[in-house]
Amino acid sequence: MPALISGLAVLLAATMVLAVGVGPVAIPLETVWGVIAHKLMPGSVEVVWSNGRENIVWDVRAPRVVLGAAVGASLALVGAALQSVTRNPLADPHLLGVSSGAAFGAIMALIHAGMVFGAITVPLFAFAGALGATALVLAIANLARAQSAGQLILAGVAVSFVITAAGNLLIFIGDPKAAHVAIFWMLGGLGLAQWSHLPYPLVVLVLGGTWLMTQTRSLNAMTLGDESATALGIPARRFRLVIFVVCALLTGCAVAYSGVIAFVGLMIPHIVRFFVGGDYRRVLPLSGLVGAIFLVAADMAARTVMPPQDMPLGILTGLIGGVAFVVLMRRRATN
């Protein structure tokens, strides 16, 4: 297990470095390493590259790659955790209307409110929308006295439909040019990444991910059902609500900076379980690493499929994820 985690960590680092060099303007790997070393340790290497290439590497691609790794890890961790506490193999980060709430907030900022807080306006509104959607789901569940995982999921699905309809209404009545920008954001992408934005998703990932890693025993117990978990001393209902709140924070912060990216949270935990089994002591950390690698690689492909334009990342992850999932299902059926 430690060797596997170390190997995936090395693969993630290599994929991130490779991704910085790939794009409409190819940058040699030695230049990528040189720019990174120069920025982290000024004067450690001789500057033999142009200012333009340095800007591409450090100001455009590097923050984009770091954000992709953070978002991929966050979505995969959330998907794995939700699949445990809901005992639903189709659970993913969008299950509780979190992504719909984030999309609603972003649409409000892009079309109607304007950039009132500068460059951070869209992420701020998206994050507020995600938290608002989560609070609404929990309020409805409490009002309906929903106690089971299935009832909470139904509340989330209902809220998701309502918020999605409200967001579509905002697009319909808004300015067509601004609506085009909002639709592109809803399809997902990392093109708006900036160094100044990265502390927020990274801090949330470290805090939320670390807490989830400490709960692997409880997550294993929750896969057996509420009665079994309670018999093992775990307050199933309260634990599930806490997991939902933590997952909402992780998803909301990720979606706020990347838009709505499909299939990562659903697909990655299943792929990991296919190879290492269902023990969350392995599933959770490996899901985070594989999710980060997958999204960085997918974004690298999105930058090269339709140069000089970027293909929306949500479209690409949906295509790749759907095909990969069908292949896995076929292999499982034949084994």
Report how far residue 161's alpha carbon sits from residue 154's, in angstroms, rounded to the nearest whole number. Answer: 11
Report how far residue 216's alpha carbon sits from residue 53's, in angstroms, rounded to the nearest whole number. Answer: 44
What confidence category does residue 334 fall into, taking pLDDT thresholds of 50, 70 and 90? low
Whether the CB-CB separation of 160 and 97 falls below 8 Å is answered with yes
Q: What pLDDT score was predicted for residue 146?
A: 60
| DSSP-derived secondary structure letter, 110 | I
Query: What is the residue range of 317's domain?
Result: 2-334
* Range scoring the smallest mean pLDDT among 263-272, 290-299, 302-311: 302-311
Domain at 75, CATH number:
1.10.3470.10
Whether the CB-CB separation of 103 and 186 falls below 8 Å is answered with yes
- Angle 319-324-330 from CA coordinates, rounded to 5°: 130
Q: What pLDDT score was predicted for residue 326?
A: 78
Task: Tell whether the model's pLDDT for residue 328 goes beyond 70.
Answer: no
Report how far residue 190's alpha carbon sits from residue 258's, in angstroms, rounded to the nearest whole number. Answer: 5
Q: What pLDDT score was predicted for residue 333?
A: 63
Residue 140 is encoded by which pair of tokens? 């409805």
pLDDT tens, position by position, 102-121: 888 888 888 877 777 776 78
pLDDT tens, position by position, 40-70: 888 778 888 888 889 999 999 999 999 999 9
**Alpha helix (H) ranges present in the chain?**
2-21, 29-40, 51-55, 62-85, 98-107, 121-143, 149-173, 176-186, 199-213, 216-222, 226-231, 236-258, 264-276, 280-305, 313-334
Q: Which amino acid is at 327?
A: V
In order of 3, 181, 313, the CA distances from 178 in angstroms are: 49, 5, 20
Task: Tell whether the model's pLDDT for residue 35 goes beyond 70.
Answer: yes
Average of per-residue pLDDT values in the chain? 86
Q: What pLDDT score was predicted for residue 210?
A: 96
Q: What pLDDT score was predicted for residue 24?
A: 82
Report how far residue 258's alpha carbon sits from residue 213's, in angstroms, rounded to the nearest whole number. Answer: 24
Share of the chain above pLDDT 70, in %: 96
Mean pLDDT, residues 150-177 taken together? 84
- Pick the more confident residue, 213 or 178: 213
Task: Tell whether the model's pLDDT for residue 295 goes beyond 90.
Answer: yes
* Range scoring the smallest mean pLDDT among 75-89, 151-165, 174-188, 228-242: 174-188
Give the relative orientation of helices 149-173 and 236-258 as an angle to the nearest 10 degrees. Answer: 20
| DSSP-derived secondary structure letter, 215 | T
Mean pLDDT, residues 183-197 taken together? 83
Residues 6+ apart with CB under 8 A from 238: none
Task: Tell whether the model's pLDDT for residue 303 goes beyond 90.
Answer: no
Task: Tell whether the model's pLDDT for residue 142 goes beyond 90.
Answer: no
Q: What pLDDT score was predicted for residue 147?
A: 60
- Pick the more confident residue, 64 or 88: 64
Backbone angles phi, psi at 39, to 5 degrees: -75, -40
* Range scoring the smallest mean pLDDT among 118-127, 145-154, 179-188: 145-154
Whether the CB-CB separation of 130 and 252 falls below 8 Å is answered with yes
| DSSP-derived secondary structure letter, 118 | G
| DSSP-derived secondary structure letter, 145 | T
Q: What pLDDT score was predicted for residue 152?
A: 75
Give the relative orientation of helices 313-334 and 280-305 as an angle to the nearest 10 degrees. Answer: 130
Report how far residue 153's alpha carbon sits from residue 232's, in angstroms, rounded to the nearest whole number. Answer: 24
Report the number of distinct structural domains present in the chain.
1
